[in-house]
Structure formats: C-alpha cells, structure tokens
C-alpha cells in the first residue's frame, strides 16, 4: 500500500473530542507514547477503534497544530520522509480541523496532490516523500498522527 484516502473516518463529534483534548494542553505539538502514557477513555477508544478497523498497530500519537500566522516554519512544509523509526510502516494522518494541500511522491517519483479537509484520513507508506502546505483558508489546521515507532519498547 502506498497511499489511501478515507473520507469522514471520524464523525464531527469525534473530531471535536480530539480538538478539545488537544487544546487542553496549550501546546503546538502534543506527543504521546501509547505504550506508557494513559489517555482519557474516549480518546483511547478512538485510537483502538482506528487500529482495529484498519488492522494497523499504533504505539505513538502526535496531535499538532499548524498555525498560518506563526513565524515558525514547520519541516512538514518541505519534502521529507519521516524518521527511520517509522520505516516500513503505514502512517495515519487525519485532518481534525482546517484545510491544506498535501503532496506525496509515489514509488515511481510521480507527484500527487490531495486537498486535506476535516475528517479526511490519509494512510501513507512511511517510505514515501511528502509535504504539506501551510493551512489554507481562515482556520489553523490540527492533525492527528498515529504510527508505529520502532524505538519504543513494547510492553509485555
């Protein structure tokens, strides 16, 4: 699998739940080791359901806000491949709020462009180069990333 889109993966209420959970922390980027950190039950249920529905294992979660008025320029705006700890896995990228333009290069180096909108899930092979534009429109963009980080020791 190189790339797949699933529209309306979570409903509006679930997206709002994710947005509110993220906003509680007041951070630009919230990183959670799913092996060692506890999540509120409703958030845990969303992650578990996504894992079961997609038959993918996740042990790391990032919720991140891209703010178009921020002077900080995210590395996500440039072509990149995610760190080696995700190599050979499928990345879960869900737009919680806002809009952006996402581009990726397939295995033949062809560039594809996708308009990200709230509720849209992109599943991408971690070995593919990709980038995202700064938020488009009036709203900042919040994303939920789920992945399998090989640097995390599995609980037994």
Listed residue (57, 15, 63) closest to 39, CA to CA: 63
The yes-or-no verdict on residue 154 having pLDDT over 80 is: no
Average pLDDT, the chain: 94
Return the H-helix or E-strand segment holding 121: strand 121-125
Give the position of tokens 């509120």.
40
* Residue where the block lists tokens 């990183």: 31
pLDDT by residue (tens digit) across 45-91?
A: 999 999 999 999 999 999 999 998 887 789 999 999 999 999 999 99
Q: Where are the domains of the chain?
A: 3-147
pLDDT of residue 156: 53
* 130-132, strands of its sheet edge to edge: 111-116, 100-105, 130-132
pLDDT at 73: 84
Asked whether the beta carbons of 55 and 105 are under 8 A apart, the reply is: no
CA distance 72 to 112: 26
pTM for the model stands at: 0.93
**CA pair distance 54, 33, nearest whole angstrom:** 20
CATH homologous superfamily of 3-147 equals Alpha-ketoglutarate-dependent dioxygenase AlkB-like (2.60.120.590)
């Amino acid at each position: 699998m190189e790339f797949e889109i699933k529209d309306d993966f979570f409903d509006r209420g679930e997206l709002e739940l994710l947005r509110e959970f993220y906003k509680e922390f007041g951070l630009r980027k919230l990183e959670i080791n799913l092996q060692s950190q506890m999540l509120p039950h409703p958030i845990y249920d969303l992650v578990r359901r996504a894992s079961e529905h997609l038959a993918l294992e996740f042990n790391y979660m990032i919720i991140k806000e891209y703010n178009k008025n921020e002077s900080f320029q995210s590395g996500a705006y440039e072509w990149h491949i995610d760190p080696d700890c995700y190599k050979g896995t499928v990345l879960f990228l869900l737009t919680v709020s806002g809009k952006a333009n996402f581009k990726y290069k397939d295995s033949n180096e062809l560039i594809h462009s996708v308009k990200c909108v709230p509720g849209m899930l992109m599943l991408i092979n971690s070995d593919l180069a990709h980038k995202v534009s700064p938020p488009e429109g009036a709203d900042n963009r919040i994303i939920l990333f789920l992945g399998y980080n090989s640097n995390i020791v599995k609980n037994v």
